[in-house]
């Protein structure tokens, strides 16, 4: 700002809204393919949906209670059976007392455990259920966290099972629980995260935990990789990066990510980072996908981005063999990006497909997962969908 | 209450004045979040004011507010919001204002102009007067669009007979609780405001102001920024022998660089005849609807930059006040106010008015007694050369 602007009258004249990001993303990209609805949709009318996980022929979706829908909080896990074509049918609802939101859902790789985070209520925290009968989860154990658990990620490290959980502010932290005995959850480590809105999600792979910590950026910990002699009991920071805030100028708002292991090139070069910008839930949003080169894990650096006008990204899934990134995109629905080769600058030309499964005004997509050749999409407004596409 | 020249000598001896006030109020609302009506009796706006001056140019202004003790859970006020409260007005901090000013720094060298500098805790130079210093008991919905209060401020100001200008630096974060002080380290100076006021005719003034406020709702600084505009015209002068007050204002707050925009228009007036005062206010203000952790509280600290929607509140408030007897210096003024408001969602989002309130309108009633002693409440938020003229007369022992 010029010094003249600080003069009294000038100061008034200088006040204005900033418009547009500092890096012009150019015109909105044009997709080259489409998603098609194969099944599901408009199947959770009484609650807002949250996260999903698909395992085998069952799917589990959470519910969100930041606002009541038809008077209902988000205290339910929906249990879906997938038919031979993968189409979902609701078979039961697991009602969890004392919570207001099921914030994150995951099934263990062997299908034996259903793990989810919970917020809003006296029973908020981490909950573990057994899936001996996938239609009838059986409670095994839980640990209460007063401010709630925002996300919970299962990881196998050195023969033991852990959950990497994100504790909400006031004192945000990465909590690492040992659930090897799922009936006896134990805390292995608590790593404080700066309260610049704290930690939102964690991606764990090859003994490295990528912590997505809002305006603090991405923090990479060795939790068993060997790079820095870290462990789940003693995470050791490897590196960190703060991604750009071009989409909303209100900070990087680092929310989630996926470390891409490219089987075609053998590279493990790119980390995709979701920026959760400001949003009017159910209506509008913003926030970009940022691509970070983690070739040197100790010095990660941003190399590319993807931007959609009028919408912001949320959770990811990847088809690594086909080098496609799927991103939930709130009011824009779902986006598929070609992430093959070298990634640099604006990835607008990499857009393969986009689609709003609930249609305009009834789409606010939380998460995506590829399973059995179908893309499953959970939408806060219109429920669980089965899509086909690129 | 007290006008006490000190023993200090000089052409302008030290002086101090005190005032105290508050309102014993019975307040009712026909609907509340979650449904049902609610009635409460509270002591609101309990304040103690001190104005002191010395050597003509040095002044201290303090306003203590004890709402942290009398309404720690806020005042029932459908539509009000801010500082983590919603549909209840938040209690103010115990130290509402504590500002030291050095006025007329250039003396006669700048002619009739007055240049001053002020520092302390108080209002940023933005917007209109604190509702507490206006005729109505009920706060308007636009309090957090039209005032920036309880910050650590450093303000430079200059005033001539026809125009005044102020510019100030302050900390962007708003208070989180009544006992909290502004965060100086890491926050002071991250926000600024500027206001120009014109005085075209005696009794009339027009102001325009702009502010950029960093992360007002998140003390560590991760929250969204605001750009705020305020325009207003004010009248305060007797007409045909009857004191007459009027204010029209327009305010706009843009948050997250225009992702959220909230507007407000407000017009209010009060006409006094003898001991009787009639008053009316119209307001149309938009407010954010945030996730609530209880009926009257929104989630703090934030976890993300999302809201559930925007609502527009259209509120009519009519009131009557009568000046009662002066009991050994204690002024008692019974009052009654009735408000009718309509709520409407603006744009998209998951917030639904009728789901929360059960209906789209609200009636509110306030019956109370305003109690005052000593110095009357000053116009808050104008310091140094812009301090309340009435107040300065007392400070300086005579008219300007």
Which of A167, A199, A254, A279 is the mutation pick for testing B, counting most B CBs within 10 A? A279
Name which of B215, B165, B130 is nearest A13 in CA terms.
Answer: B165
Question: Could you tell me the maximum CA-CA distance found in chain B, to the nearest angstrom?
Answer: 67
What pLDDT does B162 receive? 95
Tokens 């075609």 belong to: A264
On whether the CB atoms of residues A56 and A111 are closer than 8 A, the answer is yes
- Name every residue whose Cβ is closer than 8 Å to that of residue B347 and which is 6 or more positions away in sequence: A280, A283, B309, B310
Arithmetic mean of pLDDT, B339-346 = 98
Q: Which residues of B touch A11 (CB under 8 A)?
A: 167, 192, 194, 210
On whether the CB atoms of residues A79 and A92 are closer than 8 A, the answer is yes
What pLDDT does B358 receive? 94
Q: Is B255 on the interface with A (CB under 8 A)?
A: yes
Arithmetic mean of pLDDT, B309-331 = 95
> Would you list the DSSP string of B388-399?
-HHHHHHHHTS-
Arithmetic mean of pLDDT, A163-187 = 98
Yes or no, beta carbons of A11 and B167 under 8 Å apart: yes
Q: Is A248 on the interface with B (CB under 8 A)?
A: yes
Is A5 in a helix, a strand, or coil?
helix
On whether the CB atoms of residues B290 and B307 are closer than 8 A, the answer is yes
Find the range with the poorest average confidence among A218-222, B10-14, B297-301, B390-394: B390-394
**The two structure tokens encoding residue A356:** 């709003």
CA distance A267 to chain B (A): 33
Yes or no, beta carbons of B305 and A361 under 8 Å apart: no
Name which of A272, A253, A276 is nearest A343 in CA terms.
Answer: A272
Instruction: Please give the Cα distance from B208 to B202 (Å, whole number).
Output: 18
Yes or no, beta carbons of B194 and A17 under 8 Å apart: no
Instruction: Please give the Cα distance from B183 to A104 (Å, whole number).
Output: 35
Return the residue of B nearest to A170 by Cα: B301
Q: What's chain A's average pLDDT?
A: 92
Instruction: Please give the Cα distance from B50 to B242 (Å, whole number).
Output: 29
Buried-state track B151-183, b at ≥16 Cβ within 10 A, e below 16: bbbebbbbbeeebbbbbbbbbbbbbbebebebb
Cα B138 to chain center, whole Å?
11
Is A286 in a helix, a strand, or coil?
coil
Q: Is the per-residue pLDDT at B247 higher than 50? A: yes
At B104-163, the pLDDT tens digits run 999 888 888 999 999 999 999 999 999 999 999 999 999 999 999 999 999 999 999 999
pLDDT band at A135 (very low <50, low <70, confident <90, very high): very high
On whether the CB atoms of residues A138 and A164 are closer than 8 A, the answer is no
- Name every residue whose Cβ is closer than 8 Å to that of residue B132 and which is 6 or more positions away in sequence: B45, B47, B92, B139, B377, B380
What pLDDT does B4 receive? 39
What pLDDT does A26 receive? 58
What does residue B179 show for φ and ψ, rounded to 5 degrees? -90, 5
Q: Count other C-beta atoms under 10 Å from residue A344's C-beta.
A: 10
pLDDT band at B389 (very low <50, low <70, confident <90, very high): low
On whether the CB atoms of residues B211 and B148 are closer than 8 A, the answer is yes
What does residue B318 show for φ and ψ, rounded to 5 degrees? -120, 145
Instruction: Confirm whether B1 is domain-assigned.
Output: no
Q: Is the per-residue pLDDT at B176 higher than 60? A: yes
Instruction: Please give the Cα distance from A315 to A325 (Å, whole number).
Output: 11
Q: Which residues of B touch A168 (CB under 8 A)?
A: 303
pLDDT band at A247 (very low <50, low <70, confident <90, very high): low
Return the residue of B nearest to A280 by Cα: B307
Arithmetic mean of pLDDT, B250-260 = 95
Find the range with the poorest average confidence among A212-226, A240-254, B144-158, B268-282: A240-254
What pLDDT does B208 receive? 98
Q: Is B286 on the interface with A (CB under 8 A)?
A: no
Yes or no, beta carbons of A283 and B347 under 8 Å apart: yes
Instruction: Confirm whether B5 is domain-assigned.
Output: no
- What percent of chain B stands above pLDDT 70? 94
- Name every residue whose Cβ is closer than 8 Å to that of residue A364 and which is 6 or more positions away in sequence: A281, A282, A283, A285, A330, A331, A358, A379, A380, A381
What pLDDT does A47 receive? 98
CA distance A150 to chain B (A): 9
What pLDDT does B12 receive? 58
- What percent of chain A stands above pLDDT 70? 92
What pLDDT does B109 receive? 86
Instruction: Confirm whether B74 is domain-assigned.
Output: yes
Q: Taking the domain A28-388, which CATH number applies?
A: 2.130.10.10
Instruction: Confirm whether B386 is domain-assigned.
Output: yes
pTM: 0.92
- Residues 289 through 348 of chain A touching chain B, CB cutoff 8 Å: none
Q: What's chain B's average pLDDT?
A: 92
On whether the CB atoms of residues A280 and B306 are closer than 8 A, the answer is yes
What pLDDT does A34 receive? 87
Q: Is the per-residue pLDDT at B278 higher than 60? A: yes
On whether the CB atoms of residues A367 and A314 are closer than 8 A, the answer is yes
Report the domain count for chain B: 1
Q: Which stretches of chain A are DSSP H helices?
A: 8-14
At B27-55, the pLDDT tens digits run 999 999 998 999 999 999 999 999 999 98
DSSP letter at A23 equals: S
Tokens 């900070």 belong to: A251
Rg (CA), chain A: 21
Yes or no, beta carbons of B192 and A17 under 8 Å apart: no
What pLDDT does B363 receive? 98
On whether the CB atoms of residues A339 and A352 are closer than 8 A, the answer is no
Yes or no, beta carbons of A280 and B227 under 8 Å apart: no
Q: Is the per-residue pLDDT at B395 higher than 50? A: no
Instruction: Please give the Cα distance from B170 to B173 (Å, whole number).
Output: 9
DSSP letter at A196 equals: T
What pLDDT does B325 receive? 84
Instruction: Please give the Cα distance from B278 to B243 (Å, whole number).
Output: 11
Q: Is B186 on the interface with A (CB under 8 A)?
A: no
On whether the CB atoms of residues A384 and A44 are closer than 8 A, the answer is yes
Q: Is the per-residue pLDDT at A19 higher than 80? A: no
pLDDT band at A17 (very low <50, low <70, confident <90, very high): very low
On whether the CB atoms of residues B89 and B136 are closer than 8 A, the answer is no
Instruction: Please give the Cα distance from A116 to A130 (Å, whole number).
Output: 12
Instruction: Please give the Cα distance from A118 to A168 (Å, whole number).
Output: 11
Arithmetic mean of pLDDT, A152-156 = 98
On whether the CB atoms of residues A190 and A165 are closer than 8 A, the answer is no
Four-CA torsion B301, B303, B305, B310, nearest 10 degrees:
-70
Instruction: Please give the Cα distance from A76 to A101 (Å, whole number).
Output: 8
On whether the CB atoms of residues B237 and B201 are closer than 8 A, the answer is no
What pLDDT does B394 receive? 41
What pLDDT does B396 receive? 40
On whether the CB atoms of residues A52 and A60 are closer than 8 A, the answer is yes
Name which of A185, A309, A157, A192 is nearest A246 in CA terms.
Answer: A309
Instruction: Confirm whether B92 is domain-assigned.
Output: yes
Q: How many CB pairs under 8 A join A and B?
A: 137
Yes or no, beta carbons of B306 and A279 under 8 Å apart: yes
Give the domain range for residue B160: 18-396
- Name every residue whose Cβ is closer than 8 Å to that of residue B259 and which is 6 or more positions away in sequence: A248, A277, A278, A284, A286, B224
Q: Count other C-beta atoms under 10 Å from residue B323's C-beta.
A: 16
Instruction: Please give the Cα distance from B20 to B63 (Å, whole number).
Output: 9
Q: Is the per-residue pLDDT at A10 higher than 60? A: no
Instruction: Confirm whether B11 is domain-assigned.
Output: no
Arithmetic mean of pLDDT, A351-355 = 96
Instruction: Confirm whether B355 is domain-assigned.
Output: yes
Name which of A332, A283, A279 is nearest A35 in CA terms.
Answer: A332
Find the range with the poorest average confidence among A18-32, A68-82, A369-383: A18-32
pLDDT band at A15 (very low <50, low <70, confident <90, very high): very low
Instruction: Please give the Cα distance from B48 to B96 (Å, whole number).
Output: 10
Q: Is the per-residue pLDDT at A57 higher than 70? A: yes
Instruction: Please give the Cα distance from A332 to B37 (Å, whole number).
Output: 40
What pLDDT does B387 receive? 87
Q: Is the per-residue pLDDT at B7 higher than 50? A: no
Q: Is B328 on the interface with A (CB under 8 A)?
A: no
Instruction: Confirm whether B8 is domain-assigned.
Output: no
- What percent of chain B stands above pLDDT 90? 88
Which of B173, B214, B257, B299 is the mutation pick for testing A, counting most A CBs within 10 A? B257
CATH number assigned to the domain comprising residue B227: 2.40.160.10
Return the residue of B nearest to A194 by Cα: B220
DSSP letter at A9 equals: H
- Checking phi first, is residue A303 left (phi over 0); if not, alpha (psi -120 to 50) or beta? alpha
Higher pLDDT, B111 or A2: B111
Yes or no, beta carbons of A168 and B303 under 8 Å apart: yes
On whether the CB atoms of residues B377 and B388 are closer than 8 A, the answer is no
What pLDDT does A248 receive? 60
Yes or no, beta carbons of B192 and A11 under 8 Å apart: yes
pLDDT band at A264 (very low <50, low <70, confident <90, very high): very high
Instruction: Please give the Cα distance from B287 to B142 (Å, whole number).
Output: 8
On whether the CB atoms of residues A323 and A264 are closer than 8 A, the answer is yes
Instruction: Please give the Cα distance from A141 to A121 (Å, whole number).
Output: 17
pLDDT band at B14 (very low <50, low <70, confident <90, very high): confident
Cα B114 to chain center, whole Å?
25
Q: Count other C-beta atoms under 10 Å from residue A298's C-beta.
A: 12
Yes or no, beta carbons of A15 and B210 under 8 Å apart: yes
At B258-276, the pLDDT tens digits run 999 999 999 999 999 999 9
On whether the CB atoms of residues B332 and B369 are closer than 8 A, the answer is yes
Q: Is the per-residue pLDDT at A22 higher than 60? A: no
On whether the CB atoms of residues B345 and A283 are closer than 8 A, the answer is no
On whether the CB atoms of residues B90 and B84 are closer than 8 A, the answer is yes
What pLDDT does A377 receive? 98
């Amino acid at each position: 700002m010029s010094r003249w602007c600080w003069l009294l009258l000038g100061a008034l004249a200088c006040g204005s809204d900033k418009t547009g990001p500092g890096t012009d993303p150019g015109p909105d990209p044009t997709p080259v393919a489409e998603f098609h609805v194969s099944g599901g949709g408009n199947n959770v009318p009484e609650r807002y949906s949250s996260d999903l996980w698909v395992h085998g022929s069952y799917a589990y979706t959470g519910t969100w209670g930041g606002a009541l829908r038809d008077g209902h909080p988000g205290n339910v896990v929906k249990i879906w059976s997938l038919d031979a074509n993968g189409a979902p049918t609701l078979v039961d609802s697991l009602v969890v007392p004392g919570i207001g939101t099921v914030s994150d859902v995951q099934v263990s790789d062997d299908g034996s455990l259903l793990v989810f985070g919970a917020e809003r209520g006296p029973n908020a925290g981490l909950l573990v259920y057994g899936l001996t009968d996938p239609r009838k989860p059986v409670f095994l154990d839980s640990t209460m966290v007063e401010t709630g658990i925002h996300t919970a990620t299962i990881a196998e490290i050195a023969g033991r099972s852990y959950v990497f959980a994100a504790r909400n502010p006031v004192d945000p932290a990465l909590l690492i629980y040992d659930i090897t005995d799922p009936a006896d959850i134990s805390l292995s480590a608590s790593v404080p995260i700066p309260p610049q809105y704290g930690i939102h999600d964690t991606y764990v792979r090859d003994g490295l935990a990528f912590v997505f910590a809002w305006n603090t950026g991405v923090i990479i910990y060795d939790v068993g990789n060997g790079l820095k002699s870290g462990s789940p009991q003693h995470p050791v920071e490897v590196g960190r990066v703060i991604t750009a805030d071009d989409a909303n100028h209100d900070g990087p708002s680092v929310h989630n990510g996926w470390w891409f292991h490219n089987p075609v090139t053998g590279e493990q070069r790119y980390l995709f980072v979701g920026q959760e910008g400001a949003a009017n839930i159910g209506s509008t949003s913003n926030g970009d996908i940022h691509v970070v080169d983690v070739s040197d894990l100790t010095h990660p650096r941003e190399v590319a981005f993807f931007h959609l006008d009028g919408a912001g990204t949320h959770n990811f899934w990847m088809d690594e063999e086909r080098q496609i990134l799927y991103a939930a995109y709130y009011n824009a629905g779902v986006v598929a990006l070609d992430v093959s080769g070298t990634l640099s600058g604006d990835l607008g030309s990499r857009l393969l497909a986009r689609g709003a499964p609930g249609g305009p005004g009834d789409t606010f997509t939380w998460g995506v997962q590829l399973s059995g050749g179908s893309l499953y999409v959970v939408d806060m407004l219109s429920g669980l969908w089965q899509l086909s596409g690129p | 209450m007290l006008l006490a020249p000190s023993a200090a000598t000089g052409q302008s001896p030290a002086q101090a004045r005190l005032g105290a006030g508050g309102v014993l109020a019975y307040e009712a609302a026909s609907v509340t979040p979650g449904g049902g009506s609610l009635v409460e009796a509270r002591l609101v706006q309990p304040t103690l004011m001190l104005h002191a001056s010395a050597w003509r140019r040095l002044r201290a202004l303090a306003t203590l507010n004890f709402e942290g003790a009398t309404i720690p859970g806020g005042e029932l006020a459908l539509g009000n919001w801010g500082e983590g409260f919603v549909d209840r007005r938040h209690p103010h901090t115990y130290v509402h204002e504590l500002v030291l000013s050095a006025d007329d720094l250039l003396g006669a060298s700048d002619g009739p102009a007055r240049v001053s500098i002020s520092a302390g805790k108080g209002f940023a130079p933005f917007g209109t007067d604190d509702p507490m210093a206006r005729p109505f008991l009920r706060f308007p919905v636009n309090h957090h669009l039209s005032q920036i209060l309880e910050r650590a401020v450093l303000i430079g100001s200059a005033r001539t007979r026809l125009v005044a200008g102020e510019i100030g630096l302050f900390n962007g974060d708003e208070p989180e609780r009544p006992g909290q002080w502004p965060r100086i380290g890491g926050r002071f100076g991250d926000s600024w405001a500027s206001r120009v006021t014109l005085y075209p005719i005696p009794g009339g003034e027009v102001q325009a102001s702009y502010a950029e406020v960093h992360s007002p709702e998140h003390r560590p600084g991760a929250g969204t920024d605001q750009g705020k505009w305020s325009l207003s015209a004010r009248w305060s002068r007797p007409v045909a022998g009857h004191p007459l007050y009027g204010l029209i204002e327009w305010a706009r707050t843009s948050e997250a660089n225009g992702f959220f925009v909230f507007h407000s228009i407000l017009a209010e007036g009060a006409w006094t005849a003898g001991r009787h005062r009639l008053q009316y206010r119209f307001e149309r203000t938009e407010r954010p609807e945030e996730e609530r952790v209880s009926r009257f509280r929104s989630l703090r600290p934030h976890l993300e930059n999302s809201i559930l929607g925007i609502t527009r509140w259209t509120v009519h408030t009519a009131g009557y006040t009568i000046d009662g007897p002066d009991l050994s210096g204690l002024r008692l003024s019974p009052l009654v106010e009735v408000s009718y408001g309509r709520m409407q969602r603006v744009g998209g989002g998951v917030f639904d008015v009728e789901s929360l309130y059960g209906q789209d309108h609200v009636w509110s009633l306030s019956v109370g007694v305003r109690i005052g002693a000593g110095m009357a409440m000053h116009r808050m938020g104008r310091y140094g050369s812009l301090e309340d003229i009435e107040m300065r007369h007392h400070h300086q022992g005579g008219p300007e």
